[in-house]
Chains A and B, each alone.
Chain A
């Protein structure tokens, strides 16, 4: 299943890159991200909990990154699994300069969705995933334009800043104790109602969360 999309972000590719690669930012912008953890040089794991209405689903994800052409593009290999289903995706992300010093981000995911949720129809899965991508990039853009709520305003965000401060990932070997970043869990998936639909949103979330984490992976290198 192919999942393509794009977003215009406020800031030139370099700035977008640096924001996209701040795990603290990602942790609070990825829909439903609970924790984001660097567990090794090339490894990140995370927990996303995407929920709508009365039901929530928690998903574990892993990512690997390749073909980095900073600040233009990279490819990430992501996988996520949760009760209602699982997802495996290869996502190519491009950053290109747009007018007014902005950046056009395009992503192209080749995803395989499995488990019960896979039975609900391709248009529905892509529809939900696209919608969550929209939320993710809106949140990113809010970070870029500074309209996002100040980190301190949220306990989880406080934890984030605290963690990120103390962590200063760059100063420690990637192989050292895992560095964790708390997220702002439970960003609505934007879909509603039925079990299957929620599961779907969740998996879509997992995929996109993985996308985010892959970007986040860059951090260690960047600050090294």
Chain B
């Protein structure tokens, strides 16, 4: 029963519950609750001319019908712009229920409440909403062309023009020995958690208090939003994230209309009300990400060293901007990756379209930035006839250059200063792991089998653990049980295990005694949320600090009892003992009892803390000035800036020239997230990320037609990789501890997804010798590309041909 578990591959303790059907998800709550369902817009852009509910009135079990007219006060105002930014010059958000106009298919117009979901849906079907259709804007190019406006008062469709530069780029490009300019695209995908969104609300009229369960990544902030919008006192609102079946970013957005409307109905009706999102609703009523048009100009020398980089991106933000311009900022600032760029300028124009809103999806703009930077490296190598790994190597930030200041401003408003890392080390490990030098041999071998083989790589640096803060609370009970809580939420990452490992190690208690609670405002009211690979960095460190506070107090109390100096004491396996003196010890649970001076003995253990149990110092109060009863401590971690994790991926693809099916035959990952709390959990995170990376590269896209109808809004039509499409993943670790936090850790949640599209695009291009400038790519698209005489052939392909003829 070891208690030094930091860094050990401890099995995820939550899995017993989660994989045996004992999880408690949103829809497992409130079986007797009334059910809400929504009438959503069937049009991408339209004015609402009438809402006729007459036919719905005959539906047995109908309880209530709400439209915009029923919203008053703050509820009648637009939803909040969560993250304002000076460069977001034209922010727009929708209303909880459409106020006369709809701007994307799926926007909620009417909420129906009934005795169950079936009845509610039947009533929805009978409500007739009349629309006057308006011109539709779909896709980043249409938004850019601005023949029509999504919001008529914003004729150019531009919500924000985000601009950063580190020097004078024009002269730098003019002076560059060589330059390249190109345009490339990346498509939309979405988080697609197995569990969609969901809300359950219960109003206690006598206590005038509200309890809300919601499948969220930010329960404390949902709580604040509900209190503000429904004009309730914060202390009368509880918000709890139960087990959450995946988030991947979509559930950090809040308050969703449903998170406000379901509580509103619960209060108005005095009944429990629940809504659980169905899959189509999730496709058309939640959020997407990723679509960008990228125009890149790079200046470089004959050795492939970049002298200047100029990037202009058009980013599709969908119909509204509730999450500000976080994704554009992340793309703009993370694009630079592990490279030293003498001069860099980036402009990201965030444009409105009549489609579902765009907010962070695992990676949150990084896959696009990585795609831009890494494909630029590939083009430079192709132009110069150099090994793609060598070109990268020549541009890498060196190990002795840390901390490295990119002179950019990150999504947390802090400078992009890389705290630590070893990028040449990553690249070396990757080349070895994937067998980079064997590529030509593998290509020839595949050719003999009639296959086209290609290799590709992509490197990334990921800013993780942004502030402002997270907190942790650790309390030892008289039973010996250790209660741990933090405000941020869990969506299956393994927080219960990782946080318990940290406490067991810091406090010296068996992990079996540690109980972790996350995302419950009744337990911890101050938090930011789970996003940007921050839970381990932020709450992990806050919990470690809280545990250290408990340890300090425990030693102080035990020292008094054992008549020893605190520094001579240690805690191991839940026992406080004098170092090197076996037998002189006191159980931590007894220390917990003694920490709370009692008048009344409610049980045997409590007797020890009562006033006549032992002689006290008559000149001192039982609870010292500045001290507090109880063996507990609350602490917070607030970083000066994000800590930067890094990694390198390589993919080997084989393409069948008959079917043009693309098979990822090998996928190698070298990963550096500083000190690792639990390598098994980190590898699991990498696996999941790679799966989504493969999906984004080869399968997933949002198929909008010109009218803004999403044509693949179901799991029958939206392709996601199965286990059969996810390659075996070879992983190697590198550890460069972060100097920014007590545990020296960096985030690992999003990393796996970031380089997938770039690495696989590079591998496909290497295999077919045609320029891949739009991702994802399907076998059909690849077939058309290689058949199209006008499609660009790579210089590398020409050289190979020449070589073959010579």
Contacts and interface: CB of A to CB of B under 8 A. Distances in A.
B69 A197 contact: no
B57 A121 contact: no
A74 B468 CA distance: 66
A124 B268 contact: no
Interface in A84-123: 116, 118-123
Contact of B53 (A118, A123, A196): A123
A119 B268 contact: yes
Nearest to B64: A120
A56 interface: no
Given A193-B62, A194-B63, A127 B54 contact: yes
Contacts of B58: 190-192
Contact of A197 (B63, B70, B268): B63
Given A127-B54, A194-B114, A122 B70 contact: yes
B270 A124 contact: no
A131 interface: yes
Given A193-B115, A196-B63, A197-B62, A131 B54 contact: yes
A182 interface: no
Main secondary structure on B side of the interface with A: mixed
Contacts of B57: 124, 127-128, 131, 190-192, 197
A192 B67 contact: no
A194 B62 contact: yes
B514 to A, nearest CB: 45
| Residue of A119, A127, A191, A193 with most chain B CB atoms under a 10 A cut-off | A119
Interface string B637-677: 00000000000000000000000000000000000000000
A158 B204 CA distance: 50
A121 B60 contact: no
Contacts of A119: 64, 265, 267-270
B605 interface: no
B61 A194 contact: yes
Contacts of A193: 59-62, 115
Interface residues of B, number: 23
Interface string B42-56: 000000000101100
Nearest to B69: A122
Contacts of A190: 57-58
A120 B266 CA distance: 11
B191 interface: no
Contacts of A191: 57-58, 62
Contact of A196 (B66, B70, B267, B269): B269
A68 B51 CA distance: 35
Given A127-B53, A194-B114, A120 B61 contact: no
A194 B35 CA distance: 13
Interface string B101-127: 000000000000011000000000000
B65 interface: yes
Nearest to B269: A119
Interface string B334-377: 00000000000000000000000000000000000000000000
Nearest to B58: A192
B57 to A, nearest CB: 5
A197 B53 CA distance: 13
Contacts of A131: 54, 57
A143 B53 CA distance: 30
A122 B67 CA distance: 8
Interface in B230-274: 265, 267-270
Dominant secondary structure at the A interface:
helix
Nearest to A196: B63
B70 A121 contact: yes
Nearest to A195: B63
A205 B61 CA distance: 19
Contact of B268 (A120, A128, A192, A194): A120
Contacts of B65: 120-121, 123-124, 127
B264 to A, nearest CB: 9
Interface in B201-235: none
Contacts of A123: 51, 53, 65, 67, 69-70
Contacts of A116: 269-270
A172 B255 CA distance: 66
Interface in B272-286: none
Contacts of A124: 53, 57, 62, 64-65
A51 B267 CA distance: 25
Contact of A192 (B53, B60, B265): B60
Instruction: Select the residue from B63, B69, B269 with max chain A CB neighbours within 10 A.
Output: B63
Contacts of A127: 53-54, 57, 65
Contacts of B60: 192-194
Interface in A159-204: 190-194, 196-197
Nearest to B268: A119
A121 B112 CA distance: 9
A45 to B, nearest CB: 29
A131 B65 CA distance: 16
A192 B63 contact: no
Contacts of A128: 57
A97 B752 CA distance: 78
A121 B270 contact: no
Residue among A118, A122, A123 with the most chain B CB within 10 A?
A: A123
A120 B69 CA distance: 12
B610 to A, nearest CB: 52
B63 A120 contact: yes
A116 B267 CA distance: 10
Contacts of B114: 194
B122 to A, nearest CB: 11
Contacts of B70: 121-123
Contacts of B268: 118-120
A196 B114 CA distance: 10
A50 to B, nearest CB: 14
A183 B62 CA distance: 29
A121 B72 CA distance: 12
A27 B80 CA distance: 53
Nearest to A124: B65
Nearest to B127: A123
Contacts of A192: 57-60, 62
B64 A121 contact: yes
B111 to A, nearest CB: 8
A35 B64 CA distance: 30
A127 B58 CA distance: 11
Nearest to A191: B57
A124 B62 CA distance: 10
Contact of B67 (A121, A130, A194, A197): A121
B571 to A, nearest CB: 56
B100 to A, nearest CB: 15
B49 to A, nearest CB: 15
Contacts of B265: 119
A42 B806 CA distance: 114
Nearest to B115: A194
Interface in B14-65: 51, 53-54, 57-65
A124 B58 CA distance: 11
B711 to A, nearest CB: 32
Contacts of B61: 193-194
B71 to A, nearest CB: 10
Q: Which of A116, A130, A194 lies at the interface centre, i.e. has the most chain B CB atoms within 10 A of its CB? A: A194
A122 B68 CA distance: 10
Nearest to B66: A121
Nearest to B119: A193
A138 to B, nearest CB: 16
A124 B67 CA distance: 10
Contacts of B51: 123
A196 B65 CA distance: 11
5 contacts: A116-B270, A120-B65, A121-B67, A127-B57, A191-B58
Given A118-B268, A131-B54, A191-B62, 9 more contacts: A119-B268, A121-B64, A127-B65, A192-B57, A192-B60, A192-B62, A193-B115, A194-B61, A196-B64
Q: Which 5 A-B pairs have the closest CB atoms?
A: A119-B268, A120-B64, A193-B60, A121-B65, A124-B65
